[in-house]
Structure 1
Amino acid sequence: MKRIVRCTLISLFSALVFIQMINAQSDDSFVPVASNIDGAEFPRISDDLRVWLQIKAPLAARVQIGGDLLPSPDPVYLKKNEEGNWTMITPPVVPGFHYYWFLVDGVRMNDPGCNTYYGWARPTSGIEIPTKDEDFYIPKNIPHGDVREHWYYSDITGKWRRAFVYTPAEYETSPDKGYPILYLLHGSGENERGWSLQGHMSFIMDNLIAARKAKPMVVVMDNGYAVPKDSTAYPQSTSRGNQWVVLSDVYLKEIIPKMESFYRIAPGKGNRAMAGLSMGGGQTAFIGFNNPGLFSSLGFFSGGGIAVDIVSDSSVYGGLFSDAVSVNNQFEVLWFGAGTHEPSFAERNAVIKEGFEKVGIKGIFYESEGTAHEWHTWRRCLYEFAQLLFKKGTK
């Protein structure tokens, strides 16, 4: 019975899409999306945030769309016209950044009209659905920092690794100045490019620094995966928890020492922070809470894998949260954010907030209105979090 109901709902959704496509053929409110490759007419977007997709595949028997652009959990069929173009128009899409792809006769392929980004563990089409009256992540006519590609060899993994490193606009003209540093982690299925490309991290920081809402800082975005070259040194390293042990060692023994010796970083815990989204939020908790003397502030953006019973269970994170006074003295900022359209993460934060309030631990909890488990939630999180960092100076 459930299968029949599900199939009926999918059929109704497909019918709705087809009706909207027919009604929109003469609608001139659709314009090419900002994330398209240069000169591409499709995908297109309307004033009410409907998306018009089109791909030319005259010999194909069927074309579907997958990903998180549509509310349907299953691929949805496109319709073929006389010119061999397969098209559809979606219902209004939630603002933010969404991954999607086509299935052409069952073969997954990216949309040739838009840029690709590393998501879902491979290069994937991505589309930017604009958010009304928000420009904090848009480039402006102000001084801009640089994002550098920094390669280094890891003795722990036995491989070359890459970090993207943001330096503020003033970095090159202030050779005698040391800067605080933020280690910023990506989510599952993405990589070290995510914060720069999908997240627009550099524009967010440029705008904050130019407006004097945030201190000039260096931001390091490294890869969130680490497999040891010597598996005997890390038993069961294939499990997520043990992979995080490896990554923690890479940060403590390689990334942090290498970055803070190569770049002009001000010394001390008070000048070091870490934050991450989704999987990266859980990794931030694992690294930061198990090394409380290392970071002054920690941020969790839709943090996955964070223990919700961190207050009630004294065995979690070495019992760190059994002493509220110590926690408050250890950290300047403990920051938790999630979108209102990602209920499981918002609910996790609510439980943690309740536990903090019961014992008197200071935390900041933020909800991104109208966004889901996607990049605009995390852009807003970075925007809010970065403004609070490094206010007390070196400890």
Structure 2
Amino acid sequence: MGVLRNRFLSPRNLLVAALLTATADAFAQPPRGPQARSPQVHADGTITLEYLAPDAESVLLDGGQFGARDLPMEQDSNGIWRVTYGPIEPDIYPYAFKVDGVLVQDPANPHYFPNERFRGSLVDVPADTSLIHDLRDVPHGTVTYAYYPSVAGSTGRLLVYTPPGYDEEPDRRYPVYYLISGTTDTEETWYKAGRSNLILDNLIAEGRAEPMIVVMPYGNPAATVAEQRGEPKPDDPPRETEAAVARIDQFGEDLTENVIPYVDATYRTRPDRTSRAIGGFSRGGGQTLQTAFSHMDTFAWVCSYSAYLDTDLMESRFPDIAGKAAQTNDSLKLLWLSVGDEDFLYEDVREFMAYLDEHGVDYRKYISGGGHTWMNTKDYLARTAQLLFQ
């Protein structure tokens, strides 16, 4: 069999060209140095975290939500700082590193917690049996990033979950759950940290939840306006001040006058109040209560996670909610309140529950363990999703 040769180069020149190419590749791709592998999740529930910083004097693990707050890490001869911690209760947790006192994300980990400020990294510690937020072999819905005309001429951002089968059943219409995240969270937080899509996928596959559209808006339209005007993000006003109430009113206006019309025009919704729910965590829970009580003709299902309204606001802004309890009870299909017994808002939420009890307003409550965390919030979503639109 003959030898196939380049018609333009002699055998000697071919050898020279090959050597030059190999030399160029060697310069273009230098040998890789030490690499951090992080996070490493082990079968026994422990995790190993690594950070490459040969010149750092100190690296600490900031994993307070799984019990490792400011845990010292040890440096090896390659400049990689390392620590193994646990075992940890199965769930999804945020963490970060403190490098010489500066909080940094884990650069080896692509999974992060969406936030207006610092974006921590996320580690998923699996259980022996699948958790409700895990990826399972079931039909999956679709999450879409969407944009709509918002307040003050700005463009707002949404994530929209459509359930499995949405595209295959073009004549079917669906109820909608408007799901709001907390202070400094973004429109992505319910998706990336809260795993809302996987929770709904799993519940729908088991027949435990009604197929629904879930709309996840950004809860801070004032920040969107400032950003698009080239201005700094406005400070968050203190809780229960007039400025805080006004900021929530702005969100409620955006939701009812801009978001809902956009969603109803773009997706196959059932555009009536009995097919429309609103819920949220922390600030998003306060936005939920204030917006729902201001628009009783818009929402029939209301879910507040780790949030409350104080008595003065209820009496001044929403006197009919408690003052006409029978009417409220007849109007709302569900009023849900949940909080952890270690949550810093626990006592405030309990006072709000006591106020509703005193006036005969029906609601469902759930007191969990734990604090003001997204570990709890995923649980609250899974519980309430099974009640909505039933």
- Normalised-by-shorter TM-score class: 0.7 to 0.9
- 1:34 maps to which residue? none
- 1:381 maps to which residue? 380
Q: Where do residues 72-221 of structure 1 align in structure 2 (5 Å cutoff)?
A: 75-90=70-85, 92-93=87-88, 95-114=90-109, 115-119=111-115, 121-130=117-126, 133=129, 135-154=131-150, 156-221=151-216
- 2:325 maps to which residue? 324
Deviation, 1:345, is 3.3
Structure 1 pair 128–175 and aligned structure 2 pair: CA distance change class (3 A): same
5+ residue gaps, structure 1:
1-38
SS of the residue aligned with 2:268? Answer: coil
Separation in 2, partners of 1:199, 1:66: 20
Contact 2:303 2:335 (C-alpha < 8 Å) held by counterparts: yes
Separation in 1, partners of 2:368, 2:125: 16
Calculate percent identity across the aligned residue pairs: 27
Contact 1:310 1:321 (C-alpha < 8 Å) held by counterparts: no
Contact 1:103 1:109 (C-alpha < 8 Å) held by counterparts: yes
Separation in 1, partners of 2:386, 2:259: 24
Structure 1 pair 237–143 and aligned structure 2 pair: CA distance change class (3 A): closer
Letter in 2 for 1:366: Y
SS of the residue aligned with 1:241? Answer: helix
Deviation, 1:246, is 1.4
Structure 1, residues 175-211: CA drift from partner, whole Å, max 9, x if none?
1222111100011121111111111111111111122
The alignment status of 1:350 with 2:350, answered yes or no, reads: yes
Separation in 2, partners of 1:40, 1:183: 40
Structure 1 or 2, whichever has the larger Rg, is 2
The total of aligned residue pairs comes to 342
Separation in 2, partners of 1:172, 1:321: 42
Structure 1, residues 259-286: CA drift from partner, whole Å, max 9, x if none?
1111111131101010001111011011
SS of the residue aligned with 1:171? Answer: coil
- 1:65 maps to which residue? 61
Contact 2:114 2:192 (C-alpha < 8 Å) held by counterparts: no
Deviation, 1:67, is 5.5
Letter in 2 for 1:271: S
Structure 1 pair 237–113 and aligned structure 2 pair: CA distance change class (3 A): closer
Letter in 1 for 2:165: E
The alignment status of 1:276 with 2:280, answered yes or no, reads: yes
- 1:20 maps to which residue? none
Letter in 2 for 1:63: V
Separation in 2, partners of 1:164, 1:365: 28
Structure 1 pair 375–188 and aligned structure 2 pair: CA distance change class (3 A): same
Structure 1 pair 336–159 and aligned structure 2 pair: CA distance change class (3 A): same
Separation in 2, partners of 1:357, 1:241: 24
Taking structure 1 as the reference length, the TM-score comes to 0.78
Separation in 2, partners of 1:222, 1:78: 38
Structure 1, residues 329-370: CA drift from partner, whole Å, max 9, x if none?
12010011123442x33333333333333332211111334x
Separation in 2, partners of 1:196, 1:308: 29
Contact 2:293 2:321 (C-alpha < 8 Å) held by counterparts: yes
Taking structure 2 as the reference length, the TM-score comes to 0.79
Structure 1, residues 229-270: CA drift from partner, whole Å, max 9, x if none?
699xxxx99633222121111111100111111111113110
Deviation, 1:131, is 5.2
Contact 2:221 2:250 (C-alpha < 8 Å) held by counterparts: yes
5+ residue gaps, structure 2:
1-34, 230-234, 238-242
Contact 1:301 1:336 (C-alpha < 8 Å) held by counterparts: yes
Letter in 2 for 1:320: I
Structure 1 pair 341–89 and aligned structure 2 pair: CA distance change class (3 A): farther
Contact 1:98 1:374 (C-alpha < 8 Å) held by counterparts: no
Structure 1 pair 385–70 and aligned structure 2 pair: CA distance change class (3 A): closer
SS of the residue aligned with 1:118? Answer: coil
Structure 1 pair 290–132 and aligned structure 2 pair: CA distance change class (3 A): farther
Separation in 1, partners of 2:36, 2:57: 24
Deviation, 1:326, is 1.3
Structure 1 pair 60–40 and aligned structure 2 pair: CA distance change class (3 A): closer
Structure 1 pair 206–237 and aligned structure 2 pair: CA distance change class (3 A): closer
Structure 1 pair 337–44 and aligned structure 2 pair: CA distance change class (3 A): same
Letter in 2 for 1:141: D
Structure 1, residues 264-321: CA drift from partner, whole Å, max 9, x if none?
1113110101000111101101111111121001001112xx224379x632424422
